């Protein structure tokens, strides 16, 4: 007889995915809050279990996008 093996439920797996997505969102928001001296406005526009993305308006008026993922930060101008 084989031993009884339990597998996580779908709801449990989705909860873990949500926690990872919220991690990226929280980390990006915290990083942007720590850089307020150079930012006039920021908004997180997207996040999921792989990344979080924000648009950021710098004090000089230019707008950039910032993405946080497991690979780190990526920044580019719009």
22-73 tens-digit pLDDT = 999 999 999 999 998 999 999 999 999 999 999 999 999 999 999 999 999 9
The pTM is what?
0.79
Judge whether 22 lies within some domain: yes
Among all chains, which residue has been given the structure tokens 């720590």?
34
Does 14 fall in a domain?
Answer: yes
49 in any annotated domain: yes
**pLDDT on residue 24:** 94
* Residue-level pLDDT at 73: 97
Residue 63 lies in a domain: yes
Assess if residue 23 is contained within a domain: yes
The tally of domains found in the chain comes to: 1
Whole-number pLDDT of residue 34: 94
**In degrees, to the nearest 5, what angle opens at C-alpha 52 toward C-alphas 49 and 38?**
160
Q: Is 42 exposed, middle or buried (0-12, 13-18, 19+ CB in 10 A)?
A: buried
């Amino acid at each position: 007889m084989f031993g009884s093996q339990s597998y996580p439920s779908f709801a449990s797996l989705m909860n873990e995915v949500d926690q990872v997505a919220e991690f990226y969102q929280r980390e990006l928001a915290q990083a942007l809050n720590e850089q307020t001296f150079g930012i006039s406005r920021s908004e997180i526009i997207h996040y999921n279990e792989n990344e979080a993305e924000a648009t950021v308006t710098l004090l000089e008026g230019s707008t950039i996008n910032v993405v946080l993922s497991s690979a780190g930060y990526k920044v580019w101008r719009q």
